[in-house]
Amino acid sequence: MKTKLTALLLAGLAGTALAQAPAPDATSLMNMGRFGEAKQMLTRTAQQTPTMQSTFDAGYAYLRAGQPDSARAWFQKGLAMDEKREPLNETGVAITYLVQNNMVQGGPMIDEVMKKSKGKQASILYRLGEAYTGYLQPGDGAIKPVYPKAVDAAKALDYLNRAAERDKKSADIQLALGDAHYLNKDAGTAVSRYESAIEFGMNPSRVYQRVGDIYWQGRNLNLAVENYKKAIEANAQYAPAYGQLAELYFLVNRYKDAANYQDQYVNVSGDRRQDMLLRQAQFHFLAKDYQRAVDLIDSNATTLGSNPILYRIKGWAYSSLEQPQKAIENIQTFLQKAPEKKMSDDYKYLGRAYMGMEATGNNDSLKAIAKSANDSVGIGYLAIAAPDDTTDNLYSDIAKYYYRTKQHEKALAALDSADKHGYKADVQDLFRYGLSNYVLGFERDTANRLIRNTMRFAKADSALALAQEKAPDYVPTVLYRAKAKYYAYAPEESVRNGQAKDMYEKFITMVSDKPEEVTRYKKDLATAFKYMIAYNELVTKDKAAREEWLRKGLALLPGNKDLAKISTGDDGTDAQ
């Protein structure tokens, strides 16, 4: 289901209400993946106050955003402002070629900046070392380099260690060293370097988040959660930690927690990008808070625009909210707008919506026709979805419909398909499988004479026996086991082989002390008593037992004419 959903502020957030955070600085924006805002902020500063550092920072924002050509344009603007021993923007230009894997141009430029800085400028060594990490970017539960082809852990460590020797208290260098050690598959040292970054004054929330990301990648999710929560304790307005917690809980299927933390992320960060709002609605849908998912989409309609995914999520949510008409409208709109993105769940929710449609018409007959038509369409959609659905046994839903409408062959075919697809039958599936076989056990020849299909009755009994194991006190299961065994043969043969005896006896015992059940099953009780009377007369020849069963039958069913005739000797003991 996860790969299927990417969808999506109302008063009353799911978690602790948090005040709106002050506008984040450019570094925080980049850490949150909000590069558009960071670029806007830094380019404005560079335009208003052009310096070596401000033009480098503007280029750096584009570099971190994965736009090296645009970054190069800003670095080139700052070349004239570089200091003789600190060619910062020239280093930026060299790095743009490095991350593009163009060392024909980048290599000589790196050599040149190292020559100009005499290999002693910590800022130059740091920027080159950081570039060789590929710029790790945490987010969405991952920590990956923006430029994978640029990654060279050995070179990163070389430059960064030399930078650290010259600036022993730089938090930024320590953070980058942590990244380099992580890339070098040395998570322990990476965490130590991150901790040093805190010691040297880096925002502890940012560092704890980075440590949490490292633990996440190592699949130590408990320590990841612990560090994200440390980040929040250090600064309740540090939005990235909320975002990472939301994604982590999404990963482990704790959808209510995911929705809670995504709410807090949006509230604290003010991040109202389309994908974040879609994610928020997605998590609420998965948490089964369907109305909240719909409300989030509707209240953010302007920002979310006309993304087809919106119609899918609303359609699925309305289907679950039992508002079938809205479900059908939204899912059909999605399928029209994005047919290439269709998946089995679209048809599952569409099918359920059609089957949940209220019947319309001026009289009961027209309503029944309308209901039948809607159900037929719904079953068709469920049949499309069933083979690929990995979360629900839609074959069971299909079988339930066919069983209810007395289409027993189709009910059995659906349950057989469920078995072939690896679904384990529940007690209801087993009961329906048994009863459908039981009904189909009564066949007619061309002259409309009854033909008993012994194989069908045997299948019925087998399925009902499994159902009885799961629900031993369910009376119909016991009754129809008795009937399947009885009607598989001609009446006298059935009595003489005694296969139905134990089940009929158990059935009588289960209902005889319950007046309402006696009334409900009086016809079947009469058959059961006649069977027991006949069995003791024809098989055991136990006259006392025969009389006792007759006495019990008359006491329980005093108005039954067949039992009365048996008592007067006016009829045989055939159990029909």
What pLDDT does 359 receive? 65
**Helix segments in 167-203, DSSP class H:** 171-183, 187-199
Matching residue, tokens 């940012």: 206
Q: Is the pLDDT reported for residue 10 higher than 70?
A: no
- Whole-number mean pLDDT of the chain? 90
* pLDDT per position as a tens digit, 353-364: 999 887 665 567
What does the DSSP assignment read for 534-568?
Answer: HHHHHTS--HHHHHHHHHHHHHH-TT-HHHHHHHH
Q: 452 pairs with which residues across the strands?
A: 442
Q: Is the pLDDT reported for residue 449 higher than 50?
A: yes
Q: Kindly report the number of other CB atoms within 10 A of residue 224's CB atom.
A: 23
CB-count burial class (<10 Å; 0-12, 13-18, 19+) for 122: buried
Q: Is the pLDDT reported for residue 282 higher than 90?
A: yes
Q: For residues 485 and 489, what is the distance between their CA atoms, to the nearest angstrom?
A: 8
Please state the three-class secondary structure of 423-485 as a single string.
CCCCHHHHHHHHHHHHHHCEEECCCCCEEECHHHHHHHHHHHHHHHHHCCCCHHHHHHHHHHH
Give the N- to C-terminal CA distance of the chain in Å, as an integer: 53
Q: 139 pairs with which residues across the strands?
A: 142
Give me the CATH code for the 408-568 domain, please: 1.25.40.10
What pLDDT does 552 receive? 96
* pLDDT per position as a tens digit, 344-399: 999 999 999 999 887 665 567 777 777 888 999 999 999 999 999 988 999 999 99
So where are the chain's domains? 408-568
Q: For residues 325 and 188, what is the distance between their CA atoms, to the nearest angstrom?
A: 56
**DSSP letter, residue 338:** -
Determine the average pLDDT of the residues in 158-165: 97
List C-alpha distances in Å: 216 to 202, 204, 244: 21, 18, 10
Q: What global pTM score does this model have?
A: 0.75
Q: For residues 34 and 276, what is the distance between their CA atoms, to the nearest angstrom?
A: 11
